[in-house]
Structure formats: C-alpha cells, structure tokens
Structure 1
Amino acid sequence: MTPDSAPPVHPRRKTALIVGAGIGGLSLGIRLQSLGFDTTIVERLDAPGGRAYQKRTPDGYVFDMGPTVITVPHFIEELFALQRGQGMLDAPDYPPEILAPDARVREGQSGGPHTQNYVQLVPILPFYRIYFDDGTFFDYDGDPASTRRQILALAPGDLPGYERFHADAQAIFERGFLELGYTHFGDLPTMLRVVPDLLRLDAVRTLFSFTSRYFESPKLRQVFSFETLLVGGNPLSVPAIYAMIHFVEKTWGIHYAVGGTGALVRAFVQKFEELGGRVRYDAGVEEILVTDDRGRPVCQPLGRRVARGVRLDGGEELHADLVVSNGDWANTYLKRVPAAARLVNNDLRVRAARQSMSLLVVYFGFRKDGADLDLRHHNIILGPRYEELLTEIFGRKVLGADFSQYLHVPTLTDPSLAPEGHHAAYTLVPVPHNASGIDWTVEGPRLTERVLTFLDERGYIPGLRGRLTHQEFITPDYFEGTLDSYLGNAFGPEPLLAQSAFFRPHNRSEDVKNLYLVGAGAQPGGGTPSVMMSAKMTARLIAQDFGLHPSLWSEKEGSAAD
C-alpha cells in the first residue's frame, strides 16, 4: 500500500476526568461525551448525586437529601436530547418556543419528548405555600390573577406596588437571565460592560431593600424575597438581580421528578453511560495532579502549570487531557491543588471568601392514621422574625430562639416514597456554617426535637410525635465531612454582589491550564438550574480551549479535531 492510499489516521480521543457525580458533574459529563471526549467521573460516595444524594432506608422510606425544586425543564430536555457527536453548543440557549406560556404545566404535564424517555416530570401547584407565624398563608403559584387576589386579601394597598415589582422583576429576568445567564465573566471588561444595565435596573441594591420599595406589608416583603435562601443567599445581602427567580419560576413553573430528585440523577447517569461515559464510586480524590510543561511536579509559584489527572485516596493515579472539579470550590483549591500552583486562588483569597449558610435537615416518616394533611408539596414556614433571624444566621452565626423552615412532603404527590399508609417528609432549617463553633453533636438533636415538636404542637402535622416511624437528621458536620464542603457550607460561596459574576470563582481555572470548575461554587451560582447552566458554560470553555466546534465532530469517523 502506497502512502497516498494508506487509511487516514485519526487523532486519539481527548479524555476528561470529572471529580464529583453531582448534578453539575453529570450534566457536564453528558455534554463532554456529546462533544466526543472520553469522560470518567470519580465520586467519593457510594452512589451519584452529591448534594442531591438519595437515601433509601431499611424500613421503606426514600429521602432526597438535597434539592427538591426543579424548574426550567428545557435545561433537562436539552441534556437528554444530546447525542454522541452532536454537542449542540451553538444552538440557541432559549429557543423562542420555550418562552411562550406553556399550558401543559396546568394540564399536568412536564418535560419534553426526550426527557420522557428517561424520567417523568410533573408540575407542582402551588409552587409554595408560605405560612406566616400568625397562621395565615400565601399560595404562590405564578398565576397573576391568583397572586393579585391574594394580595388584595392580605394587603390591598400593596397591589399597585406588586404591578411595579412585576414589571421591574421581568426586566431584570430578561436582561440578567435570558441575555446574560450564560455569560462567563472571565475578565473584568466583560463585567464592566454590563454594570450600566445593572445600575439602570436597580439590580445591585440588596434584594430585600429592592422588594421593600414596592411592598409596605412585611408579609409580602418576605413572600417576594425568601427564595434566595433556597440557593444559599441571604435576602438582606444578595443583589436584587435575584428578583429574576420570581420570573424563572413564573415562566417555567416548579416541577417534581417522580421517584424524587434521585430519579433525575439516575436518569442523568443512564444518559451519560449510554453516551459511553464511565462513573466510578467510592473513589475520593486526594490530589489533582499538576505539573509544569515537562511533566515535572510544580514546586514554585511561577511558570506554566497544567492539570494532568488525579490521585485517588488509595494512591491510584488517573491521567487525562483535562480535569474538572464538581466539588466544593474552596476545598478543591485548599486540599487538592498544590499551593505552589495557586497564585490567584491562594489560601488567603479562598479562606477570605464568605461561604453560604448551612442547614439542619430532618428526614422523617410518619403514619397517615386516616388524617388528611392540610399542607402542600412545598411549604415555607416562616418564624416570628425575618430580618433579625437572617442576621443571626449569616452575620452573628448563632442559633436563635426561633427558626424558619422549608417543609417538603413529596408523598402528597408521589406515595411511592413511603410504605403504604405513611408519609415521607423532610424539613430544612437554615443554620450558621461551622465557623460558628457550634457543637452539632449537642445542638443537632436539640434543634431536631424543637422542630418536630413545633410541627406537632402548631398543628402543621397534628399528633406527629405519636405517629413518627422514622427520624434522622444531618447538620453542617455532614456537609463538612461527608460532602467535603469547606466550613460545612451548603451552597458554596455566598451569592453576594462582591462574589457574583467576575468575582465568583471562574469555571476555567486562572491558575492551572486544563483545570475547570462546574457546579454551585462556580459561575453562575447555586440552585439546580444554575448548576446545569454552569455545565454548559464550562463545556463551551473546554470546546474553545481545545479548538473544537460541535460541527467538527463526527462519530462516524470516530475522531475529533485537535
């Protein structure tokens, strides 16, 4: 055979290692496989999910241990639609058809055709029932007529303020989410170009201050500001750009994966493996391997630094063309990247960043005993104090005399999560992270008892103490130990203005070539939709850095452009 007639030689496939099989790591894994990479995800736990880990108990209960609110089903559909060799990174982020009001939500349907092949999504209405300490409540369902009717009943003088809030929150949503949501702020000029718009929209003041401009009623100020707590943000501190959450939920609704969020996680694993990806469990990472250009260990903070792979806890080394951390941002750098390789993300900078609050979460099962629950799938139970309590949690870092909580009762929608005749529930209480010095071996059981007694005696679940059949809880120690989260934070860096956009950890490491971040700790931030957005942003950076374009990939040829 002459040289001219020899078969073409294709370059080897690029390889990728992702640390952590949370929703961010799995979403990115699916995208990298669709781009033609050979991707392995290493996970320190015995099953996927990370913060979205799902626990099954011997007595028949199933508990989602983390996120339970699913919105923007288009993001999920986009992942399930990907195919090997069809990365679709140049497709519109928000096709016009997904911005139109979707009547299917109110007809009991969720998810697109590809999603339905993997997991069943159903809409949840109302989105939340928000209980106030005096026993009244507000059902937030995104329906303008229902919202206005409830405002008229609760604080009629605030209806004009709601109309202004609605218009201004929509403007923030259109600019901050639809236009800028997928922007990776990798340099300061990119950030500076959007500052005039943020100032014009009044999106840089704090969310609670922003909300207070429109509502005199303390109750309505709470209704339209509490949601940032579900992504680790203090309404008194986060910028008002987070008012867009109101419109994200209003536009696409709140959804539930039948079988729990764990069912969505398993579906992502299935899709990832169908595309040829591999997940290794019980595979914690001791170190991200960083060398200089010649493959030598980095021993001084100057010169070129390149990620080459990881060393697992048992000493095994895995090598790849790129490494992505879906783990905690602070501990990724403090524990796993050599100090000599970190100029930007040095110890001083990382330790100085303000971390989000943590959580006490109580998982419990109880007998129905023939009694109907006057609760909804998602319940926000606010305590007698709002601003003062937030200051204690985020500022003073102490446990207060009262608390607020998010009570999740998925068996109202999906009885399969509990034995017949029983309910499964969890209730989540924001608490300070472990910089507080609180001894959770003492305070965890105490607070758990207070919370369960409150639900019983205040009539949210009458007779709960006598109906309990299962009870366990986690504290900031779980986040710090099991999930390896710095100071036991539950959501990564706190989403302050000074820790947003360019000032939030970058998805492409500023210190180490071929090292990337994905998930709640990176841009754009915490929350399930943002984590999936983070995966797409990181995939685009990787495609750019490796000189790839989706149209250049051909599964038939079995090769990728170098």
Structure 2
Amino acid sequence: MIQAVHAKSPPVTGISKARAIVIGAGLGGLASAMRLGAKGYHVTVVDRLDVPGGRGSCIWKDGHRFDLGPTIVTVPQVFKELWAACGRDFHSEVDLRPLDPFYEIRWPDGSTFTARQDTDAMKAEVARLSPGDVAGYEAFLRDSEERYWFGFEDLGRRPMNKLRDLIEVLPTFVRMRADRSVFGHAAKRVRDERLRMALSFHPLFIGGDPFNVTSMYILVSHLEKAFGVHYAMGGVAEMARAMATVVTDQGGRLRMNAEVDEILVRDGRAQGVRLKDGEVLSSDIVVSNADAGFSYSNLLRHQTKRRWTDQRLKRSRWSMGLYVWYFGTKGTRAMWPDVGHHTILNGPRYRGLVRDIFLRGKLSDDMSLYVHRPSVTDPSVAPEGDDTFYVLSPVPHLGHRNPVDWDAEREPYREKMIAMLDRELLPGFADRITASETFTPVEFRDRYLSPFGSGFSIEPRILQSAWFRPHNVSEEIEGLYLTGAGTHPGAGLPGVVSSAEVLAQLVPDAVGVATVDRLAAE
C-alpha cells in the first residue's frame, strides 16, 4: 500500500490567484496538475469517472482487483523528478518492485525467450536461440542507447511545437534512419525470426505497428536494460491515488463524476469549461488530458480549427484497439509455477496478424496475447490462494471500413482466448474462473472517449511524432494546452508523464498571470 508522507507540498504563496482547469484525471492529467500546482496555480481537475487514474484506474469484482490499463512502470526517474518538483519524495509514497525476469515470450513451436535486465543473461538467451546473432544483438543495443539519448532524453523532454524544432533535428533523424521501421531495424541486426519479433514488438505497448512505426522506438530496449521493469504495489491505480493526494495537498481539487462538455473560448483565448450539467468553471488556462482528437473534434466543436480539423483527424492513423479479458481463478496461486508476472504468447503469424489489425481492420481467427499475472508479485489483487489475470489481445480499432461488431464477437473471441490459454499456458484454468469482465474497443470509446476506440490515441508513425503530433501548447486557442498519450512525446507511462514536464516548460508561472478575477473587474 502507498503510505502518506508527513512532508506536504510547499503552500502556494504570493498574491496570484491564477486558476487552471485540467480536463481528465488520467496519469497525464494528474502529472500536469502536480506540475501546475508547483508553479503556483490553483488547479481543478475534472473527470467523468468516479476515481482518478483514467486508463490507469482499476475495478474490484468478487475480491479481485483488476488494473484496467498500464501494468508496468519503466523509467521511474520521471516519476521521481515529478514528485521532487512538488517538494516530495516519490519512493516514500509509492512502493515500486523490480521484476526479474521482465517477461517471457513463448512461440507455438515451444521455444521461449526470457527478458532480463542483465546484459550477459540477455546475450545468453540470444545465443541459445541463435548463436550467430549475438554480435548483431550487441549492435542493436548500441543503436537503442543512441536513440534513447536523442529520442527520449532530448526530444521527449522538451517542446516540439515550433517548425524550427523539427528542422534542427532533421539531420539526426536522417543519420539514425528514422524512416526505417522498428522491425526493419531489428531485421537488419539479427536473422532469427523469433529474435526479430522479440526486439521489435515493443511499439505495440504504445499502439504502434512495428512494421511501420519509426525505428526511433527501439529506444525501449535501452529503457528496459538501463532502468528495469517495475510493478507498483497496489497497481498503477495506487500511483494515481498518490498523485491525486499531491494535487489536493497543494490546494487543488478533483471533481469526479463531472464531465466536460465544451472548452469555452472568448476572443481567441480559453476561458474555462462548461460541464454536461451546464455548470461553468472559469480559469486562466485550460489543460486537456482528454484524447487530443476528442479535444479538438468535440470539446472545441464550435471553434474554427486551422490545423487539427475534423478532416485531418479522420485522415490520421490511429493506434489499434484492445480486447482485454480480466478474470480471477479460484485456488490457483500455487498452480502453473512456470507462469510468471508477464508472459507474451505468440500466435502462428507475426507480420500477417499485425497487418490484419492495423491495415486490413480484420478480426483474425488467430491471436497473440499479453498475459499479466500480478498475483505472483502482489497478493492484494486476489483473495488468499487465488489468482487475478489480465489478458490483452490487439484488435482493429472501430474506424475501419467494416468495423468489428463486438456485440456479436465479444463472447466468441473470449472462447478463442480460453482455448489458446488452456492449450499453451494455463491448463485447466477454465474450470476455476470466478470473476470475469471484458473490455473491447467499444468500452475504450465509451469509457475513455477514445476516438474509434483506439487503445493509445494517434499511432506514433514518423509523420505523426514529435512536431507532427498534436502540440502541448495549442496553436488553435491561446491559453489551451494538451497533455497525455495523444500529444508529444506520446503514449506509455514515461511518455504521458513527460508530456506534463514539457507542459511545465510552456506554461508561465502563476505569478503575474492575468487572472479571471482581474479580467472580470476590467
């Protein structure tokens, strides 16, 4: 459990009463609220759900806690720096546990690959599968580290909202062959098809097609090696609650069960929001952690847009959808001792399945699965002796020509999952299932207001990344800022938290801001 610390955030001082409204209490919105509170703003966070966390929230069912979205924490220093900006100590409030191994990948032929932080252990795994690929793997690691320093520590942690920001980095993009795909880069370094998959699948964790997403994203391999993979005890939902506590300790408010209907604009400047029930909340700046596409197409539906028009958003490529099955099993904690915290089960196809999902919009008969078994690390997720599982399958989003009818396919797809899990990972589990819940792209559309039910907003292709992505400061409306997965630098916990760091570089300090009180008086 997360323990409250005695040291509170420094109180807001000075004469300013500058107000900020943050739309959405997802991880990006909460991180933004923390950053704004540290800058002296009086922050109100508004969210339509009943708990903070957005996609990182959880639900309870029959004694099982189901983490709905993110399951791992990488690059924990971005959280440490976020807490430090608020005068607090992250590790005193959040209990992170390093995982070893990170995950196991399994293929239909029975071969496996175990990912760990130790470089020698990883080289041994590569050698076990394909001895001739060890040198190529070492080169891949060097490539990954170089792209980490450029793509994450440089581009990912500073604004990219001006054209000159892009022009300055174009030579580096060219030198690093950013036009090549993640899979293409892996294929250049190793020959074994299993290793090519193991080194290229990571973009799926942020909604990208490995065969089309820019090779800059091989930086994830360095993230894992350098910083490890962690689990937050209590789940990411506990991290969200800890973030919400920081916000309220700073004097901010969380308005849950309150949905924003529209961002209010006067004379070209954001002035606040109108809620669905008609209530108006005034502010000096507005930060939207709603999906960037939803923000522009719905929350600004009465405003004329120059760049992020409805037509442009429809032409954009969106990340895939997700089918997630959450279920509990009775009396299984000691069963399946070879099944750890994270397992990736590959179907018979890699390239063909990805093409069906991203390009053809077809729900395939075969599937690949990400299996999360947090009960091996965190007993609090299930009753004693029981297990809690989260099984995710990438599927097409709802924006294809003939979208999947999930009313008809929800249960048949789950039955296919059961057959694959019983055959390849959890024999006999179906007879022990207790609690069960499924999320499809329909739930992502309706619960999170995600365009086309996409799992991770706009896909991170090269012409939809950095300057090409929705900017953290809106070029459409003065005083409007955006944060979260659909903005720069992108999806994933490090990405959305870094978007708040970028936001803090763009938003002026509260002292000296022309407040709504002063504007009203004038």
Secondary structure at 1:492's aligned position in 2?
coil
Query: Structure 2: which amino acid aligns with 1:32?
Result: L
Alpha-carbon offset, residue 333 of structure 1: 0.9
**Structure 2 unaligned regions, length at least 5:** 1-12, 514-522
Q: Indicate the residue corresponding to 1:378 in structure 2.
A: 342
Q: 1:15 aligns with which of 19, 34, 37?
A: 19
Alpha-carbon offset, residue 544 of structure 1: 7.1
Asked if 2 retains the 8 angstrom alpha-carbon contact of 1:290 and 1:341, the reply is no
Q: Indicate the residue corresponding to 1:497 in structure 2.
A: 462
Select the structure of larger CA radius of gyration: 1
Q: 1:356 aligns with which of 319, 338, 341?
A: 319
Alpha-carbon offset, residue 80 of structure 1: 2.1
> TM-score normalized by structure 1?
0.86
Q: 2:417 aligns with which of 443, 451, 459?
A: 451
1:537 and 2:493 aligned = no
Secondary structure at 2:157's aligned position in 1?
coil
Q: 2:68 aligns with which of 65, 70, 87?
A: 65
Alpha-carbon offset, residue 11 of structure 1: 4.0
Query: Structure 2: which amino acid aligns with 1:248?
Result: L
Q: Indicate the residue corresponding to 2:141 in structure 1.
A: 166
1:153 and 2:128 aligned = yes
Q: Indicate the residue corresponding to 1:245 in structure 2.
A: 220
Asked if 2 retains the 8 angstrom alpha-carbon contact of 1:406 and 1:429, the reply is yes
1:421 and 2:425 aligned = no
Q: Indicate the residue corresponding to 2:291 in structure 1.
A: 328
Asked if 2 retains the 8 angstrom alpha-carbon contact of 1:69 and 1:256, the reply is yes
Secondary structure at 1:340's aligned position in 2?
coil
Asked if 1 retains the 8 angstrom alpha-carbon contact of 2:160 and 2:166, the reply is yes
Secondary structure at 1:379's aligned position in 2?
strand
Q: Indicate the residue corresponding to 1:95 in structure 2.
A: none
CA displacement, residues 20-40 of structure 1 (integer Å, 9 cap, x when unaligned): 000000001011111110000
Q: Indicate the residue corresponding to 2:30 in structure 1.
A: 26
Secondary structure at 1:134's aligned position in 2?
coil
Query: Structure 2: which amino acid aligns with 1:461?
Result: L
Paired with 1:325 and 1:539, the residues of 2 have a C-alpha distance of: 14
Instruction: Give the fraction of aligned pairs with identical amino acids, expressed as a percent.
Output: 39
Secondary structure at 2:156's aligned position in 1?
coil
Q: Indicate the residue corresponding to 1:397 in structure 2.
A: 361
Aligned residues: 498
Secondary structure at 2:211's aligned position in 1?
coil
Alpha-carbon offset, residue 311 of structure 1: 0.5
Paired with 1:118 and 1:179, the residues of 2 have a C-alpha distance of: 28
Secondary structure at 1:181's aligned position in 2?
helix
Paired with 2:380 and 2:353, the residues of 1 have a C-alpha distance of: 36
Secondary structure at 1:543's aligned position in 2?
coil
Paired with 2:335 and 2:469, the residues of 1 have a C-alpha distance of: 48
Query: Structure 2: which amino acid aligns with 1:534?
Result: S
Query: Structure 1: which amino acid aligns with 2:364?
Result: G
Secondary structure at 1:36's aligned position in 2?
coil
Alpha-carbon offset, residue 501 of structure 1: 0.7
Paired with 1:169 and 1:202, the residues of 2 have a C-alpha distance of: 12
Paired with 1:546 and 1:484, the residues of 2 have a C-alpha distance of: 34
CA pair 238-217 structure 1, distance change in 2 beyond 3 A: same
Paired with 1:544 and 1:279, the residues of 2 have a C-alpha distance of: 21
1:274 and 2:277 aligned = no
Q: Indicate the residue corresponding to 1:234 in structure 2.
A: 209
Instruction: Give the 5 Å matches for 1:119-130.
Output: 119-130=94-105
Q: Indicate the residue corresponding to 1:43 in structure 2.
A: 47
CA pair 545-345 structure 1, distance change in 2 beyond 3 A: farther
Query: Structure 2: which amino acid aligns with 1:35?
Result: K
Q: Indicate the residue corresponding to 1:477 in structure 2.
A: 442
CA pair 346-147 structure 1, distance change in 2 beyond 3 A: same
CA displacement, residues 307-336 of structure 1 (integer Å, 9 cap, x when unaligned): 000000100000000001101111111111
Alpha-carbon offset, residue 190 of structure 1: 1.1
CA displacement, residues 482-529 of structure 1 (integer Å, 9 cap, x when unaligned): 111111011010001110111000010110000110000100000000
CA pair 14-428 structure 1, distance change in 2 beyond 3 A: same
1:204 and 2:179 aligned = yes
Q: Indicate the residue corresponding to 1:557 in structure 2.
A: none
Query: Structure 2: which amino acid aligns with 1:478?
Result: E
Query: Structure 2: which amino acid aligns with 1:322?
Result: I
Asked if 2 retains the 8 angstrom alpha-carbon contact of 1:290 and 1:338, the reply is no
Q: 1:342 aligns with which of 305, 327, 337?
A: 305
Asked if 2 retains the 8 angstrom alpha-carbon contact of 1:339 and 1:346, the reply is no
Query: Structure 2: which amino acid aligns with 1:265?
Result: A
Alpha-carbon offset, residue 415 of structure 1: 1.0
Paired with 1:338 and 1:386, the residues of 2 have a C-alpha distance of: 40
Q: Indicate the residue corresponding to 2:85 in structure 1.
A: 82
Give the CA RMSD over aligned residues.
1.6
Paired with 1:170 and 1:286, the residues of 2 have a C-alpha distance of: 43
Alpha-carbon offset, residue 174 of structure 1: 1.9
Asked if 1 retains the 8 angstrom alpha-carbon contact of 2:40 and 2:511, the reply is no
Paired with 1:439 and 1:338, the residues of 2 have a C-alpha distance of: 28
Q: Indicate the residue corresponding to 1:440 in structure 2.
A: 406
Paired with 1:251 and 1:10, the residues of 2 have a C-alpha distance of: 41
Secondary structure at 1:341's aligned position in 2?
coil
Query: Structure 2: which amino acid aligns with 1:457?
Result: R
> TM-score normalized by structure 2?
0.93
Alpha-carbon offset, residue 12 of structure 1: 3.1
Asked if 2 retains the 8 angstrom alpha-carbon contact of 1:172 and 1:203, the reply is no
Query: Structure 1: which amino acid aligns with 2:335?
Result: A
Alpha-carbon offset, residue 139 of structure 1: 0.7
Paired with 2:275 and 2:389, the residues of 1 have a C-alpha distance of: 36
Q: 1:431 aligns with which of 395, 414, 417?
A: 395
Alpha-carbon offset, residue 135 of structure 1: 1.8
Q: 1:406 aligns with which of 334, 350, 370?
A: 370
Alpha-carbon offset, residue 538 of structure 1: 0.8
CA displacement, residues 119-139 of structure 1 (integer Å, 9 cap, x when unaligned): 211101111111112122111
Paired with 2:335 and 2:65, the residues of 1 have a C-alpha distance of: 21
CA displacement, residues 75-129 of structure 1 (integer Å, 9 cap, x when unaligned): 111222233xx7xxxxxxxxxxxxxxxxxxxxxxxxxx91232121110111111
CA pair 372-10 structure 1, distance change in 2 beyond 3 A: closer
Q: 1:316 aligns with which of 265, 268, 279?
A: 279
Secondary structure at 1:493's aligned position in 2?
coil
